[in-house]
Amino acid sequence: MYPEIVNLWGFSISSFGVMMAVGFLVGAWITGVRLQERDFDPEIATTILLWIMSGGILGSKLYFAIDMWARDQSSFNAALFSRDGITWYGGLIGGTLIGAIGCRVHRVNIKMFADSVCIGAAVGQAIGRVGCFLVGDDYGRVTDVAWAVAFPKGAPPTFETVHPTQLYEVAWLLPVAALLWSRRRASPFLFGEYIALNGVGRLFIEYWRVNPRVALGMTEPQWIGIGLIVLGLSGWLFYRFKNAE
């Protein structure tokens, strides 16, 4: 694959970094379109999106550092300040919490903004997964299926062909984004649908990945996926019955 696009004076610009930036920009643009539909002030929208992006990056690094430290695979500081280790679940937690604080500071309805941002988040997440594919990260188990890929420059490298699970996630997230867009006016809690569908995707895609099983034959991401399904459906049901009152 193509982990490095260019090296300028000893500073490497990675394909993942570029795709993550593209994902943020595309996600922000889609969110802007959605907020324009709701006659929302674009300047405040941009400000809160910056809160969310900052929280997402911080949360993803903290999640990675804590996870690596807990597994005794790295010191906390080394993992926190390394260039790798952008984890989606940490980004979701950090972006949600910091975004909620930003909404409170600017007196914006948190649910309304969450419902508006989740479509762009799904598309941005899919673009980020393309970046994972390009750098050879988060791939799956060894396989001989026709679409299997080897990552000789991956992280870590593999010369055996494996499931390109990054692309499996892209293939799940883009239809999810289309579904959310079609339901943007009908759903009682669109953000709940987003995180629940994310959990469903991870629950099944983990079958082809190599993460260790931690309990009842399931991996840590699968358990987090179950948690997302429960949270998303609970929030959806809460607002469904609240709106029916």
Indicate the domain borders of the chain: 16-244
Q: Please name which of 56, 117, 54 lies closest in space to residue 90, comparing C-alpha atoms.
A: 56
Q: Please name which of 127, 165, 172 lies closest in space to residue 149, comparing C-alpha atoms.
A: 165
Per-residue model confidence (pLDDT) at position 67 = 66
What is the pTM assigned to this prediction? 0.85
Q: How confident is the prediction along the chain (245 residues), in pLDDT tens digits per residue?
A: 666 665 666 666 677 778 888 988 898 889 888 988 888 877 777 888 888 888 878 877 777 676 666 666 666 666 555 656 667 677 778 888 888 898 888 888 989 989 999 999 999 999 989 988 988 888 999 999 999 999 988 878 889 999 999 999 999 999 999 999 999 999 999 999 999 999 999 999 999 998 888 888 888 889 989 999 999 999 999 999 887 65
Per-residue model confidence (pLDDT) at position 137 = 84
Q: From CA 54, how far away is CA 102, in angstroms rounded? A: 11
Per-residue model confidence (pLDDT) at position 163 = 95
Q: At residue 191, what is the residue type?
A: F
Q: From CA 117, how far away is CA 111, in angstroms rounded? A: 10
In this structure, the number of other CB atoms found within 10 A of the CB of residue 47 comes to: 14
Q: From CA 114, how far away is CA 124, in angstroms rounded? A: 15
CB 205 within 8 A of CB 167: no
129-179: pLDDT as tens digits:
998 898 888 899 999 999 999 998 887 888 999 999 999 999 999 999 999
Local structure of residue 212 (DSSP, 8 states): P
